[in-house]
A and B are shown apart, each in its own frame.
Chain A
């Protein structure tokens, strides 16, 4: 941590710069984006501010509020740019050489101390812009990870197995659309707020699920998208403390991620919930997730994220798989199904009913899903089907279902586990 004496700060300029970059970059970009209405111009100005900092901090010492210093410096760079552009459009390119440039080092360190609240509003505005429904879902994800979470283009490209130039191009186009289409860096009016918050939550949950499922690819090069999503969830919950579903989403992610250490064995093979070493679950994460869920439920506006978090909490509280309150889980899935009907939820409900009641009862929940054909390519459906058939004693049908499950699963370790279980039914 930076000392308070000027000498110490000057000595540790590289460290202070790096820390400022990590901790302040997204906040400064957010403030500039809101003032300029232009994410690219904001990013460019902030880059210049960091260059100025690298030049002047070794000489003048690290300012007491690096974020505020950088904001002012970036704002001046942006104003310079606007002046230059205006100048060119009025007097032509050749006259630019006469323009005086201001050194970005702010003469007055910080005019009026930018209130914390204002900065938080800027950040919220940036989040709403990045997750605007007028942008394609994959674009929202990329923008949010780049400008809200502060990941690099390379990291995001690796995380989504996209070539870096493709991703960079996508971001450039997105920034141009935000500017030219008039997407505002602001909290939407109350009439639209609920839908827009839901869009933000969807982006965060998509990032989390991408990290959780890690569908295909080499895990070693992937940034921890689950951790990034949880961080984003914390930001959203902090900015919107009264939004129950934002709290529910954070709780859900924490409770789900608490299993991270137990859901794969030392060879990277997936371990089913029934076989997980519950002592390896992250107790702090469970405590935190449960507490956040409790506060969310006090707001008395239930929703899908809270329900899913509640399901995860029931699992977290169970001493063992056998001692899980399956009727409670089945009831929560039924409520979830009622509120946001989806065949995927029905698959999960079937599994819970199978355990709460009987494999046959579970199969009867699954039948309409299978008949609809909607999830034909969905591995977990066939895995659940196979498992229920197996438990119901129908070995032949189970073998066929395992074959379908294996066909429809890309993830290597998951497939291996299915192959192992399917082998039990092979005729030899």
Chain B
């Protein structure tokens, strides 16, 4: 199954990481290599700062642009990994190893497969 590991943290949270002897891999590079080596890694992206976002909606025929994210939240979406693993437990295990675990949160979200719109990508 495919899962998106959506990475969230509050600005500045990185300055106050939580210690603790667990399975967290502290380097993003090492983490990505480890994931790649098991064949779980499908893709990953890191997003630019949330204040660089532009939000668009339509008002009749007019574009309405907002300078900033769609929803102002305390914790921002920083990026994601896309993984292919057997089940939720395996996806949760990868989430638990992510460096972000020292100061942020990961939402593990299953990815739907087999819809008609995907055809051009396959």
Chain A residues within 8 Å of B, Cβ to Cβ: 132, 134, 180-184, 188-189, 192
Tell me the chain B residues, 71-122 only, with Cβ under 8 Å from chain A. 86-89, 91-92, 108, 110, 112
A220 to chain B, nearest CB (A): 40
B82 to chain A, nearest CB (A): 14
Residues on A with C-beta less than 8 A from B88 are: 132, 134, 181-184
Chain B residues within 8 Å of A, Cβ to Cβ: 1, 3, 86-89, 91-92, 108, 110, 112
What's the Cα separation between A203 and B21 when bound, in Å? 28
Interchain residue pairs with CB less than 8 A apart (25):
A132-B88, A134-B88, A134-B92, A180-B110, A180-B112, A181-B88, A181-B108, A181-B110, A182-B1, A182-B3, A182-B86, A182-B87, A182-B88, A182-B91, A182-B110, A183-B87, A183-B88, A183-B89, A184-B86, A184-B87, A184-B88, A184-B89, A188-B89, A189-B89, A192-B89
- Starting from the known contacts A134-B88, A184-B89, 13 additional A-B residue pairs (CB-CB under 8 Å) come to A132-B88, A181-B110, A182-B1, A182-B3, A182-B86, A182-B87, A182-B88, A183-B88, A184-B86, A184-B87, A184-B88, A188-B89, A189-B89
Residues on A with C-beta less than 8 A from B108 are: 181
B86 to chain A, nearest CB (A): 8
Sorted from nearest, which 4 A-B pairs have the closest CB atoms? A182-B1, A182-B88, A182-B87, A184-B87
Residues on A with C-beta less than 8 A from B112 are: 180
What's the Cα separation between A192 and B1 when bound, in Å? 20
Residues on B with C-beta less than 8 A from A134 are: 88, 92
Secondary structure class of chain A's binding surface, majority of residues: loop
B60 to chain A, nearest CB (A): 37
What's the Cα separation between A20 and B48 when bound, in Å? 60
What's the Cα separation between A134 and B87 when bound, in Å? 12
Residues on A with C-beta less than 8 A from B87 are: 182-184
Q: Which residue of B lies closest to A180 (CB)?
A: B110
What's the Cα separation between A134 and B93 when bound, in Å? 13
Residues on B with C-beta less than 8 A from A182 are: 1, 3, 86-88, 91, 110
A337 to chain B, nearest CB (A): 24
Residues on B with C-beta less than 8 A from A181 are: 88, 108, 110
What's the Cα separation between A192 and B96 when bound, in Å? 13
Q: Which residue of B lies closest to A184 (CB)?
A: B87
What's the Cα separation between A163 and B1 when bound, in Å? 35
What's the Cα separation between A181 and B91 when bound, in Å? 10
With most chain A CB atoms within 10 A of its CB, the pick from B88, B92, B108 is: B88
What's the Cα separation between A188 and B88 when bound, in Å? 11
What's the Cα separation between A173 and B88 when bound, in Å? 17
What's the Cα separation between A183 and B88 when bound, in Å? 5
A188 to chain B, nearest CB (A): 6
What's the Cα separation between A145 and B112 when bound, in Å? 30
What's the Cα separation between A180 and B1 when bound, in Å? 9
Residues on B with C-beta less than 8 A from A184 are: 86-89
What's the Cα separation between A180 and B108 when bound, in Å? 12
With most chain B CB atoms within 10 A of its CB, the pick from A181, A184, A188, A192 is: A181
Residues on A with C-beta less than 8 A from B91 are: 182
Residues on A with C-beta less than 8 A from B92 are: 134
What's the Cα separation between A362 and B91 when bound, in Å? 48
Residues on A with C-beta less than 8 A from B1 are: 182
What's the Cα separation between A188 and B89 when bound, in Å? 8
Residues on B with C-beta less than 8 A from A180 are: 110, 112
What's the Cα separation between A338 and B57 when bound, in Å? 57
What's the Cα separation between A132 and B1 when bound, in Å? 18
What's the Cα separation between A184 and B110 when bound, in Å? 14
What's the Cα separation between A184 and B88 when bound, in Å? 8
A181 to chain B, nearest CB (A): 5
What's the Cα separation between A134 and B1 when bound, in Å? 16
What's the Cα separation between A337 and B40 when bound, in Å? 43
B97 to chain A, nearest CB (A): 12
What's the Cα separation between A75 and B110 when bound, in Å? 27
B117 to chain A, nearest CB (A): 15
Residues on A with C-beta less than 8 A from B86 are: 182, 184
What's the Cα separation between A182 and B84 when bound, in Å? 12
What's the Cα separation between A181 and B109 when bound, in Å? 7
Q: Which residue of A lies closest to B109 (CB)?
A: A181
A282 to chain B, nearest CB (A): 40
Residues on B with C-beta less than 8 A from A132 are: 88
With most chain B CB atoms within 10 A of its CB, the pick from A182, A183, A184, A189 is: A182
B49 to chain A, nearest CB (A): 30
Q: Which residue of A lies closest to B3 (CB)?
A: A182
A203 to chain B, nearest CB (A): 18
What's the Cα separation between A189 and B85 when bound, in Å? 15
Residues on A with C-beta less than 8 A from B89 are: 183-184, 188-189, 192
What's the Cα separation between A184 and B112 when bound, in Å? 17
Residues on B with C-beta less than 8 A from A188 are: 89
B85 to chain A, nearest CB (A): 8
What's the Cα separation between A183 and B110 when bound, in Å? 11
Residues on B with C-beta less than 8 A from A183 are: 87-89
A260 to chain B, nearest CB (A): 38
